[in-house]
């Protein structure tokens, strides 16, 4: 077994089959673990019929993800939402990178927590960010994908592929963080170990065709209200200053490392992107 795929679900009957079928060609090397949170539709039945191990856990995504990776048989774990699909070339890239990473050494204190660090840098990453492409048509989808392309490997991104030793060393997701900040919070602790993290070349596909602007802003409002615990836990950390700071979220992340050239090459997409960014920022200010 090379890779364990952990998929969290809640009423995802419309998406779960596509997510699982993406691995059909490599099922001899991959196990699928679906961790469901009280679905009332056919999600669990579909997953079981497609050969997935189906578990039950709640009340939120952090607990689901933790149970999934803890039950994983493989050394490498990828954490997905049910509305995500991995293209064949992305799966091939992941399987090519699943080789033993450097061993983890003794821990160092970080924000009151004990976290390990690698004894040697080695030549293999221990965790990966994965570029993301949203499905859909029209200018708004193009603008959202344009925006997302600036985030790869930054503190706005979130690690999805881990060597299991990294999750064991950090304890995985903080289950006290309910629906907001758990991805960013884990990244802080993973990076604090000194683990080598890289960005994959190939993307995952995120099915957001039904995500209207109104629905997106509603989700942002919900997450904003849930971010307080994350912000309190890591108050003063440089990553938070970027994630919630005006200068980085509206300028820094789009111009650093020569990315400003891409911004200038696509003025229409940049304009639509900034329009949505302003609406998201206003939503954040109204709900924090």
Residue 103 resides in a domain: yes
Is residue 100's pLDDT more than 70?
no
CATH of the domain at 106: 3.90.550.10
CB distance 159 to 126 below 8 Å:
no
Element (H, E) at 65: helix 61-71
Q: What is the pLDDT of residues 256-287, one digit of tens each?
A: 999 999 999 999 999 999 999 898 888 777 76
Residue 286 resides in a domain: no
Residue 177 resides in a domain: yes
Query: Comparing C-alpha atoms, which of 25, 17, 22 is closest to residue 202?
Result: 22
Residue 224 resides in a domain: no
pLDDT given at position 116: 47
Q: Which domain holds residue 74?
A: 3-211
Q: What is the mean pLDDT of residues 17-41?
A: 97
Q: What is the mean pLDDT of residues 18-23?
A: 98
Q: Tally Cβ neighbours within 10 Å of residue 199.
A: 14
Is residue 209's pLDDT more than 90?
no
- The Cα-based distances of 238 to 23, 188, 242 in angstroms read 38, 10, 7
Q: How many domains does the chain have?
A: 1
pLDDT given at position 99: 64
Half-sphere exposure of 245 (CA within 13 A, CB side): 14
pLDDT given at position 228: 84
- Phi and psi angles of residue 7, each rounded to the nearest 5 degrees, phi first: -120, 120
Distance CA 68, CA 3 (A): 12
Q: Biggest alpha carbon distance in the chain?
A: 51
Structure tokens at 2: 């090379």
Q: What is the mean pLDDT of residues 232-250?
A: 94
DSSP-derived secondary structure for 214-256 = HHHHHHHHHHHHH-HHHHHHTTT-HHHHHHS-HHIIIIIHHHG
CB distance 59 to 226 below 8 Å:
no
The residues near 33 (Cβ < 8 Å, ≥ 6 apart) are: 4, 5, 6, 7, 52, 53, 55, 68, 71, 72
Residue 276 resides in a domain: no
Residue 275 resides in a domain: no
Q: What is the pLDDT of residues 163-182, one digit of tens each?
A: 999 999 999 999 988 766 89
Is residue 106's pLDDT more than 50?
no
Residue 70 resides in a domain: yes
Q: What is the pLDDT of residues 118-136, one digit of tens each?
A: 433 334 799 999 999 999 8
Is residue 218's pLDDT more than 80?
no
Query: Comparing C-alpha atoms, which of 184, 133, 192 is closest to residue 157?
Result: 184
- Preceding peptide of 131 cis, ω within 30°: no
Ranking 40-44, 204-208, 216-220, 266-270 by mean pLDDT, the lowest is 216-220
Is the full-model pTM beyond 0.85? Answer: yes
Of residues 226 and 32, more confidence is placed in 32
Residue 199 resides in a domain: yes
């Amino acid at each position: 077994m090379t890779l364990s795929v952990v998929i969290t679900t809640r009423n995802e009957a419309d998406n779960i089959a596509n997510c699982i079928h993406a691995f059909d060609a490599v099922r001899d090397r991959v196990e699928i673990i679906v961790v469901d949170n009280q679905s009332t539709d056919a999600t669990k039945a579909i997953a079981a019929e497609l050969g997935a191990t189906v578990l039950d856990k709640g009340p939120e995504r952090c607990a689901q993800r933790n149970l999934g990776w803890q039950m994983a048989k493989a050394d490498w774990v990828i954490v997905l939402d049910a509305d995500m699909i991995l293209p064949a070339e992305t799966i091939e890239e992941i399987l090519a990178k699943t080789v033993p990473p450097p061993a983890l050494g003794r821990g160092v204190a970080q924000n009151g927590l004990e976290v390990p660090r690698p004894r040697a840098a080695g030549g293999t990453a221990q965790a990966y960010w994965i570029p993301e492409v949203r499905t859909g048509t029209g200018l708004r989808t193009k603008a959202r994908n344009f925006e997302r392309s600036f985030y790869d490997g930054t503190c706005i991104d979130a690690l999805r592929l881990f060597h299991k030793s990294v999750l064991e060393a950090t304890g995985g997701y903080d289950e006290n963080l309910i629906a907001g900040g758990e991805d960013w919070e884990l990244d802080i602790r993973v990076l604090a170990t000194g683990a080598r993290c890289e960005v994959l070349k190939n993307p995952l596909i995120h099915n957001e065709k039904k995500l209207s602007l109104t629905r997106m802003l509603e989700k942002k409002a919900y997450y904003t209200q849930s971010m307080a615990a994350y912000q309190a836990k890591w108050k003063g950390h440089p990553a938070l200053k970027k994630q919630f700071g005006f200068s980085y979220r509206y300028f820094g992340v789009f111009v650093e490392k020569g990315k400003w050239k891409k911004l200038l090459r696509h003025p229409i997409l940049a304009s639509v992107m900034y329009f949505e960014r302003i609406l998201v920022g206003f939503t954040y200010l109204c709900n924090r």
